[in-house]
Amino acid sequence: MASMDLSVTIVNDTLGDQEFIVYQQNVVPNLKNYLTAAWEYAYLANGGARWDFVLPAAFEVSGTEDAMSSGSKTTNVLAARYGDQFALSESTIPPISAFKIEKIGTSAGAAVVTILNTIATGPCWAEVDKNGHQLFAAFLAPNQSVNFAIEPTLYVAIASSVAKGEFFEAPSLAQSWAFPYEGFTSLVITATQNPTTGELALTGVIGE
């Protein structure tokens, strides 16, 4: 998987203002209840407005009681590497009530990260973040685990109905483009529009 940060520029050369979201996906989703988040979001005016940002290679893991609720109880956040294994747990022994995630092991050479829900009393969500912003989340029943590996591809969508940090089902987006970047450190994406048909297109130029 990608081990270098990616410098990204998105340029809006379409005929109108556009709302862009960027996100990533899990290579090995082993659960049905799995959601993707709009990792970053920008509103760009037409006429060449640009958006510059860095997509980090590093990522973090955490847990939440309900990924769809902004007021839900959440755990601490831990840095993660491929091969790491984590457990979500909750202590309800008075006076301590702690919902937490902790590293429980490492599998050398493994290409995934594993998160296990050890809470016997109910389900929760495992989350993956980059730079403090959500990438995706998986619903875990008690004693259920999820494996994940972040696909080294940046997905860009033009979508006015999805806000930064909001979870959605990626296949539901009508206009989305994929830009693989493994082994590269920069990506310039230009959005254009056919003046006759109104059709939008995104093209990317990758660089070392």
Per residue in 86-141, pLDDT (tens digit) is: 999 987 666 555 889 999 999 888 889 999 999 877 889 999 999 989 898 899 99
According to the model, what pLDDT value does residue 109 have?
Answer: 80
Q: Is the pLDDT of residue 188 over 80?
A: yes
pLDDT range class, residue 22, cuts 50, 70, 90: very high
According to the model, what pLDDT value does residue 70 have?
Answer: 64
Give the mean model confidence (pLDDT) for residues 72-76: 83
Give me 207's structure tokens: 């660089």
According to the model, what pLDDT value does residue 68 have?
Answer: 65
Percentage of the chain exceeding pLDDT 70: 88
According to the model, what pLDDT value does residue 93 have?
Answer: 65
Q: Is the pLDDT of residue 71 over 70?
A: no
pLDDT range class, residue 145, cuts 50, 70, 90: very high
According to the model, what pLDDT value does residue 192 have?
Answer: 95
> What is the DSSP-derived secondary structure letter of residue 171?
G
How many C-beta atoms lie closer than 10 Å to residue 185's C-beta?
15
Q: Is residue 194 part of a domain?
A: yes
pLDDT range class, residue 54, cuts 50, 70, 90: very high
pLDDT range class, residue 191, cuts 50, 70, 90: very high
Cβ–Cβ under 8 Å, residues 84 and 48: no
Bigger pLDDT: 70 vs 115 = 115
According to the model, what pLDDT value does residue 141 have?
Answer: 92
Give the mean model confidence (pLDDT) for residues 199-204: 94
Q: Is residue 195 part of a domain?
A: yes
For the entire predicted model, the pTM comes to 0.89
Terminal Cα-to-Cα distance of the chain (whole angstroms): 16
- Environment class of 6 (CB within 10 Å of its CB; exposed 0-12, middle 13-18, buried 19+): buried
- Provide the mean pLDDT of the chain: 87
Domain holding 156, by residue range, is 6-207
How many C-beta atoms lie closer than 10 Å to residue 91's C-beta?
11
Q: Is residue 1 part of a domain?
A: no
Q: How many domains does the chain have?
A: 1
In DSSP notation, 98-142 reads: EEEEEEEEE-TT-SSEEEEE--TT--EEEEEEETTEEEEEEEE-T
Bigger pLDDT: 28 vs 198 = 198
